[in-house]
Structure 1
Amino acid sequence: MKYLYGLLLSTGILTTAFSQTPFTQTVRGRILDKESKYPLSNVTVQLLEGNTSGTLTDSLGRYRLPNVPVGRRTIRISRIGYREALLNNIIVDAGRETILDVELEESITELNTITVKAQRTGDARNEMAVVSARQFTVDEADRYAGSRGEPARMASNFAGVQGADDSRNDIVIRGNSPSGVLWRVEGVTIPNPNHFAIAGTTGGPVSIISNKMLANSDFFTGAFPAEFGNGIAGVFDLRLRNGNNEKHQRMLQFGFLGTEGALEGPISRKTGSSYFVTYRYANLWLFNKAGIDIGTQAVPTYQDAAFRLNFPLKNNARIALWGFGGTSTIDLLISKQEVSDRNIFGQNDRDQYYTSRMGVVGATYEKPFSRQTFLKTTLAVSGNAQDANHDYLFFQYDANGLPVVENNRYKILSKASILDYRFSEIKTSLAASVNHKFSSRSILKAGLNTDVLFFNFLDSARVVTTFPTAPAQLGPWQYRWDSRQTALLVQPYVQWRVNLSDRLTLSAGLTSLYFSLNTNSFSPIEPRAGLAWDLGNRQKLSVAAGLHSQIQPTYVYFYGDDLRNPTKNRQLLNQAVGLTKSWHYVTSYDRLLGRNLRLKLEAYYQKLFNVPVEEQRSSFSILNTGSGFTRVFPDKLVNTGTGRNYGAELTLEKFFSDGYYFLVTGSLFDAKYRGSDGVLRNTDFNGRYAFNTVFAKEFTFRKTSLNVGAKFTAVGGRWYGPVDEARSQATQEIIYQSAGRNTLQFPDYRRFDLKVDYKINRNRLTHTIAVDFVNILGIQNILTLSYAPQPDGTFIKREYQLGFLPVFYYRVDF
């Protein structure tokens, strides 16, 4: 690390000493009407810093600002009859053109000058969103300390969101399970977009989606518009960016998390078509070589890729072909580890072999028929699969029933296969929507989202019976999953936004959800509505409410017990389970305290019902699932459980100006549920509070810049309960007492991150050296309890999170 500090310091001194004149780059793009996507001419695009310069868009909505000095810039976009857009913190590098495509929203009156109605950085792209919505930029995923260039970890900085897990990027929104988060790309729902994904989860250790492939996108935390169905917690609504259609650009990056390359450029300059492609291969072996703890001695391997081909057509239509995916493998070999080695990702009594794959390819067609009507259609095919094999280890035990240790390794007599499963899903998706603008006051959006799902679930396991002084015994193979079925998921919707007056806006919609797997998975009408009131003096008050529903993790429907044993004649236990439903109620107050300072307060209440719980009396609820690396094996489920979440959130944000920015978010909340035992309990994710503060300062020189950012996170600890010691020793894994579930809480989670980002601009070339010091103070946060027999006779072990993790990369853009 000392060499890295020396490199940064010496490079900065040399480049500053020999710099004479700053480099420049071109900023260009298109300006469109937000609702109809029709190109807007005669729009003023103005650079605000330094020598103020500007230009006008042409008949196709195109603009170009040449010779923009490198660095962070602010751009103002305005046109009579439209709300002004003010874009802060736009990064201009010498190594690549900055392409900004912006959508303007039409004003009710042509000379509307109410400041709070101006579009700004952070305002949601979705015109139907009233509350709990935020646009995030590609740059935010890079500049927030601890984000590692991922949208999920970046979103953990926002109010109401928890990401208190060093090893995974699961998103806990307002106390909800991470499985309630909906991931969409170009309008279609996609599988879990993470490496080492487990069925029924939406997170993982490393994201397949990189910020390099994204355009500005939206993130929702509650009461989202009617177009978003099959989600009860939050939504990532992602858009993929087009490649540069005028010049070829390249990017190479080397770092601890992977070696990456990206290419983009014009396919035909005449037609404006373009390509973009990227590829990454893991470098996690560097962590082992450098002696950095990643929670296991096993070296994960993964690779991923993405592409997008964009073809402009006649009459402003466009078609894009796109895709991304990845594969990942890890072998957790306890038989080859030393006793002192950590293994927070597996179990200490077996060797585990695991592989996951995910991919999606699609085509998106966009067509503005007029200045009032716009059509968007996406057809995609996606798939995901998980393969796992476990070999049980027969340890040699001494007279006291403890494992024998030789040369700091457990002595293993033999091993035998006890688990073999493959889960796979293939999905064909169609998303079609039409926007029609009746006038500047009234806009209608209607659409249909349809998924055809093909399931192939196969799982077999053997019960392991252990004895204090005798070798373990293996039972016969039992088939818990053996299903190949097809299902249809359909969600039509309509959403209408109308300006009731110059200061009052109503957004109302209806949606429906139909899942063909059973008759209980039909939600005929789900109303959504929001009202925004401009109070004047740069203030806005908003309220929203809506009914939301979601199907269960699909593997849960097909769980059985020894399905191939004809004498038992067992049926699928959960084939008839219905939808989980939730009412969202949100109130929001938004105020601009200054030109670059915004305050936002939100309060919410969420009522969950029809929640699957076990038919027999227990504390189980589906609301506690969806995080970690394990599946759930519930008994017969019924939709009789309930839950409720409520809380208040604060956001104080200073947009980038005067060389710095900050973001402070805090939330107080309470999340409870009832299982079939009728007891009101804390959910696993009821941390009760979450606090984040992010700050960054940029130091600029003639040809270089140094950005120093910091982040502090404090979150309430996860809940757990007393351990059932007898059952835990019998099964050799931690089993909690049902009656005492979630009556105990781990200590609060704390983390301080620091990021240093140094850029060197040369003629059409940009070097970036960055180090993200995750948990720089090395705070030991508890992850979970694990079963780990020790020489002193104890077997309950506290597993700690990763601790200090330096993430380094070097990138060159040219």
Structure 2
Amino acid sequence: MTQRLLTLCLLLPLCGQAQLTQTLRGRVVDKESKYPLVGATVQVVDASLGNLTDTTGAYRIGNVPVGRRTVRVTLVGYKEVLLNNIIVDAGRETILDVDLEEGVQQLSTLTVRAQRTGEARNDMAVVSARQFSVEEADRYAGSRGEPARMAANFAGVQGADDSRNDIVIRGNSPQGVLWRLEGVSIPNPNHFAIAGTSGGPVSIINNRYLANSDFFTGAFPAEFGNTVAGVFDLKLRNGNNERHEKTIQFGFLGTEAMVEGPLSRKTGASYMVSYRYANLGLFSKLGLDIGTQAIPAYQDGFFRLNFPLKDRAGVSVGSISLWALGGTSTVDILISQQKADDRNIFGQNDRDQYFTSRMGVAGLTYIRPVSRQTFWKTTLAVSGNAQAAKDNYLFLRKDKNGNPLVQDSRFVIDSLRPTLDYQFTEIRYTLSTLVNHKLSARSTLKLGINADLFQFTAYDSVRTLETATSTLFTPWRSRWAANETFALVQPYVSYRNRLTDNLTLTAGLNALILTLNANSVSPLEPRLGMSYDLPNRQKISVAIGLHSQMQPTYTYFYKTPDFASSQYPSPLVEENRTVGLTKSWHYVASYNRLLGRNMRLLVETYYQQLFNVPVERARSSFSMVNTGAAFSRIFPGPLVNTGTGRNYGVELTLEKFFSNTYYFLVTGSLFDARYQGSDDVWRNTDFNGTYALNLLVAKEIPFRRSSLNIGAKFTTTGGRWYGPVNEAASRQNQEIVFASATRNSLQFAPYRRFDVKIDYKINRKRLTHTIAFDLVNVLGIQNLLSLSYAPQPDGTFVKQEYQLGFLPIFYYRVNF
């Protein structure tokens, strides 16, 4: 069936001969002040077309042939911008907004190329930063169109496992990744999100409403606080303000629809709305392995309304945007209805679990170019996330030898009894405001503040078996009972100066104040960076910065037994409420060289010193550096900020940008990530794979009205670390507990995966069809994921869980 479909698609281009065209339009503004630039020249280089910007900075170029185009933007006194690989489709207009950076030499036409593919939009970042586009997120094999999975291809970044899109940056916990949208911090933007994590199985964010955004892996500029690992700085695009456009897509990850268009052609106001609903129930019935027999259900949506503001002369003076996104997800993992050998990598094997998560954020963004030198942006937002779960423990019937009975491939259930009931809810009110002022053509000053007001409520009740062989439960115990309000305030200042034509200096200060306790104040965090342009299109850069991060909210309010009390059972106290910030010094050096017009080589080396890491007060191997990449919460004993860690490594990127119908990306990392718990022993972190290698390549075969893209990716990383199992503690807790003294002394086999992506695009008049197949782990390589607690008829309980096998993901999309 698939072969016939592809054959039919390949024949369709022969049905017509007329060249299809589309409109390319947008605005050109000053990069620092966002003020519209008049008279800039915008050229479609490979189509010999062009136009000038008008008094509002707008331009329009009609009759641009569909396909991949190269766009050049020039203006006297500004650095030239050359943008490769701009996709022009028949089904929707291409709207391309461009920021131009003022040149130091005001009276000459500068030919230095700026803002090429991959260069970060943020001027204050000189190392460990990369811009990514919507097209990239869609192009990479195995990325499933998600920003996080796409970023796992970059040097220094690796995925945690196939079942989740958590990313490990330079050996750090995924918990340390900060997600920002339109300048405000947002909760974990993933379905089935667990408190204290930054990833999940499926992203709520749809890349089709994103504008080009930035991704940071270390030594972040001063405006980014409350993170020690990495930053996604996401930007939203506006809907088409001249023409109504629609997108409908059906695929493995859901059925979705998106509409956008003008609210008023006179004022330029626009709207954009999207919605997606999961289809996994259908594909599970087709026998596709999604890691569990349970059927996950989820849905998500987004909208954005944009209202341009103009003065009496019709000159743009900014905009007001109202936007929101959110999603809800539910899964019931019913072990009592599964077969004894069913796969279940998302839950525990001794209970039925009912889990629901919700996430949402809504914001109002005001943007105003105050003058030709000053730009002001403010966002007010409210966000929230919640998780709720109920567990029922399975009592199995056993034979005379005490082994579980199995009948018709299923365990024989004696009874089900409630054992867990919890709900966490976090509401956040956020203000983010900044002023960017261009002091001169050489220097820029940015001032801002990010402030969050948290409202956290939680309850958690649990009961456990009295002994590993008992059928009696302990009384219900409350582990969380919180209703708290506190604030997080982060003022910052950044300064950038092009000291000479070749030397650029950036400096900044950030402060972090968490009102929850007196130990969570970091009054002065310096950031410093410098880059120097060498001959032959080479650049060297260095950066240093101090960074800090609060702990996952729920960990502050966990109640631990008061062992000093004479009462029995001992009362519970919130001993973690006074835990301070995790801190880290970042040191980064890089060498960048352009090899011809469309290829670059980047080498970075780094050292990261972690300190004030929360570890248990009692002597143990526990550390917060190992958390944040699983479907379970943590239950730490009393924590103190005495842990340390260190990460260091070298990274290489060799990238050919998409040109001459193909591209490739090679990234490699050699690194070491270790930590000390309260027992003062240096160990591998859970994420210390020591190496990672990604090889990506794609080839486009263009036809007159269509194109065929074939891409492939090979990934290999070192295996995750674990240790010998503490059998007695595991049976008592009904989950795998590793022996503390030998933690992370053993390593799984290396992880390997080969992905293939094929997509075929057909252009018709005002209509574009896309058929795509993303064949994940096409070779079906078995990679170990973890050890799980799964009592077996023979009395054993340790089970090896494997990552997802071959997973064919497909979609059909139409734009019109």
TM-score, scaled relative to structure 1? 0.98
Structure 2 CA distance for aligned equivalents of residues 687 and 558 of structure 1: 32
CA contact (8 A) 1:249 1:264 kept: yes
Matched residue type, 1:620: F
In the TM superposition, 1:451-530 aligns within 5 A as 451-468=452-469, 471-530=470-529
Matched residue type, 2:14: A
Q: Residues 9, 348 of structure 1: CA spacing in aligned structure 2 closer, same or farther, 3 A cutoff?
A: same
Structure 2 CA distance for aligned equivalents of residues 347 and 555 of structure 1: 22
Structure 1 CA distance for aligned equivalents of residues 487 and 164 of structure 2: 31
Deviation string 1:405-456 (CA, Å, 9 cap, x unpaired) is 1111100011110000000000000000000001110100000000000000
What is the DSSP-based 3-state SS (H/G/I as helix, E as strand, rest coil) of the residue aligned with 1:123?
Answer: coil
Matched residue type, 2:63: N
In the other structure, the counterpart of 1:246 is: 242
CA contact (8 A) 1:274 1:309 kept: yes
In the other structure, the counterpart of 2:373 is: 372
Deviation string 1:501-554 (CA, Å, 9 cap, x unpaired) is 111000000010000000000001000010010112101100000000000001
Matched residue type, 2:296: P
Structure 2 CA distance for aligned equivalents of residues 305 and 566 of structure 1: 50
Structure 2 CA distance for aligned equivalents of residues 661 and 62 of structure 1: 31
Q: CA deviation at 1:324?
A: 0.1
In the TM superposition, 1:746-761 aligns within 5 A as 746-761=748-763
Structure 2 CA distance for aligned equivalents of residues 654 and 807 of structure 1: 26
In the other structure, the counterpart of 1:428 is: 429
Q: CA deviation at 1:467?
A: 4.4
Q: Does 1:710 align with 2:706?
A: no
Q: CA deviation at 1:569?
A: 4.3
What is the DSSP-based 3-state SS (H/G/I as helix, E as strand, rest coil) of the residue aligned with 1:476?
Answer: coil
In the other structure, the counterpart of 2:272 is: 276
CA contact (8 A) 1:164 1:749 kept: no
Q: CA deviation at 1:65?
A: 1.3
Q: CA deviation at 1:19?
A: 2.5
In the other structure, the counterpart of 2:403 is: 402
In the other structure, the counterpart of 1:317 is: 318
CA contact (8 A) 1:25 1:67 kept: yes
Q: Residues 400, 731 of structure 1: CA spacing in aligned structure 2 closer, same or farther, 3 A cutoff?
A: farther
CA contact (8 A) 2:9 2:760 kept: no
Q: CA deviation at 1:739?
A: 0.3
Q: Percent identity?
A: 67
Q: CA deviation at 1:729?
A: 2.0
Structure 1 CA distance for aligned equivalents of residues 9 and 665 of structure 2: 30
What is the DSSP-based 3-state SS (H/G/I as helix, E as strand, rest coil) of the residue aligned with 2:741?
Answer: coil
Structure 2 CA distance for aligned equivalents of residues 545 and 644 of structure 1: 15
Q: Residues 198, 467 of structure 1: CA spacing in aligned structure 2 closer, same or farther, 3 A cutoff?
A: closer
CA contact (8 A) 2:78 2:110 kept: no
In the other structure, the counterpart of 2:18 is: 21
What is the DSSP-based 3-state SS (H/G/I as helix, E as strand, rest coil) of the residue aligned with 1:142?
Answer: helix
Structure 1 CA distance for aligned equivalents of residues 259 and 119 of structure 2: 30
Structure 1 CA distance for aligned equivalents of residues 814 and 386 of structure 2: 34
Q: CA deviation at 1:733?
A: 1.3
In the other structure, the counterpart of 1:737 is: 739
Matched residue type, 1:105: E
In the other structure, the counterpart of 2:314 is: none
Structure 2 CA distance for aligned equivalents of residues 157 and 570 of structure 1: 45
Matched residue type, 1:358: M
What is the DSSP-based 3-state SS (H/G/I as helix, E as strand, rest coil) of the residue aligned with 1:308?
Answer: strand
Match of 2:300 among 297, 304, 310: 304
CA contact (8 A) 1:588 1:603 kept: yes
CA contact (8 A) 1:478 1:562 kept: no
Q: CA deviation at 1:116?
A: 6.5
Q: Residues 432, 755 of structure 1: CA spacing in aligned structure 2 closer, same or farther, 3 A cutoff?
A: same
CA contact (8 A) 1:609 1:640 kept: yes
Deviation string 1:700-727 (CA, Å, 9 cap, x unpaired) is 1111110001111111111000001122
Deviation string 1:616-652 (CA, Å, 9 cap, x unpaired) is 0000000000001011001000000000000000011
Structure 2 CA distance for aligned equivalents of residues 19 and 154 of structure 1: 36
Deviation string 1:389-408 (CA, Å, 9 cap, x unpaired) is 00001101112221101111
In the TM superposition, 1:578-727 aligns within 5 A as 578-727=580-729
Deviates more, 1:105-114 or 1:261-270: 105-114
Structure 1 CA distance for aligned equivalents of residues 204 and 467 of structure 2: 40
In the other structure, the counterpart of 2:355 is: 354
In the other structure, the counterpart of 1:443 is: 444
In the TM superposition, 1:41-440 aligns within 5 A as 41-49=38-46, 51-110=47-106, 118-315=114-311, 316-440=317-441
Structure 1 CA distance for aligned equivalents of residues 87 and 318 of structure 2: 29
In the other structure, the counterpart of 2:552 is: 553
Structure 2 CA distance for aligned equivalents of residues 11 and 711 of structure 1: 24
What is the DSSP-based 3-state SS (H/G/I as helix, E as strand, rest coil) of the residue aligned with 2:778?
Answer: coil
CA contact (8 A) 1:479 1:562 kept: no
Structure 1 CA distance for aligned equivalents of residues 120 and 650 of structure 2: 20
Matched residue type, 1:97: E
Deviation string 1:86-119 (CA, Å, 9 cap, x unpaired) is 1111111100001111111111124778876522
Deviation string 1:588-624 (CA, Å, 9 cap, x unpaired) is 1111010001110100000000000000000000000
Structure 2 CA distance for aligned equivalents of residues 11 and 134 of structure 1: 35
Deviation string 1:739-797 (CA, Å, 9 cap, x unpaired) is 00001001111011000010111110000000100000000011100111223332211
What is the DSSP-based 3-state SS (H/G/I as helix, E as strand, rest coil) of the residue aligned with 1:5?
Answer: helix
Structure 2 CA distance for aligned equivalents of residues 16 and 577 of structure 1: 64
Q: Residues 233, 537 of structure 1: CA spacing in aligned structure 2 closer, same or farther, 3 A cutoff?
A: same
CA contact (8 A) 2:13 2:762 kept: no
Structure 2 CA distance for aligned equivalents of residues 434 and 641 of structure 1: 38
Gaps of 5+ in 2: 312-316
CA contact (8 A) 1:177 1:233 kept: yes
Q: CA deviation at 1:165?
A: 1.2
What is the DSSP-based 3-state SS (H/G/I as helix, E as strand, rest coil) of the residue aligned with 2:801?
Answer: strand
Q: CA deviation at 1:286?
A: 2.3
Structure 2 CA distance for aligned equivalents of residues 156 and 89 of structure 1: 22
CA contact (8 A) 2:560 2:638 kept: no
CA contact (8 A) 1:479 1:561 kept: no
Deviates more, 1:789-798 or 1:746-755: 789-798
In the other structure, the counterpart of 1:544 is: 543
Deviates more, 1:76-85 or 1:195-204: 76-85
Deviates more, 1:532-541 or 1:422-431: 532-541
Matched residue type, 1:286: L
Q: How many residues align?
A: 807
Deviates more, 1:80-89 or 1:143-152: 80-89
Structure 1 CA distance for aligned equivalents of residues 768 and 801 of structure 2: 42
Gaps of 5+ in 1: none
What is the DSSP-based 3-state SS (H/G/I as helix, E as strand, rest coil) of the residue aligned with 1:121?
Answer: coil
Matched residue type, 1:412: I
Q: CA deviation at 1:675?
A: 0.3
What is the DSSP-based 3-state SS (H/G/I as helix, E as strand, rest coil) of the residue aligned with 2:13?
Answer: helix
Matched residue type, 1:503: N
Deviates more, 1:287-296 or 1:319-328: 287-296
Q: CA deviation at 1:80?
A: 1.4
What is the DSSP-based 3-state SS (H/G/I as helix, E as strand, rest coil) of the residue aligned with 1:734?
Answer: coil
Matched residue type, 1:290: L
CA contact (8 A) 1:560 1:570 kept: yes
In the other structure, the counterpart of 2:577 is: 575
CA contact (8 A) 1:465 1:731 kept: no
Task: Tell me the C-alpha RMSD between the 2 structures.
Answer: 1.3
Q: Residues 568, 41 of structure 1: CA spacing in aligned structure 2 closer, same or farther, 3 A cutoff?
A: same
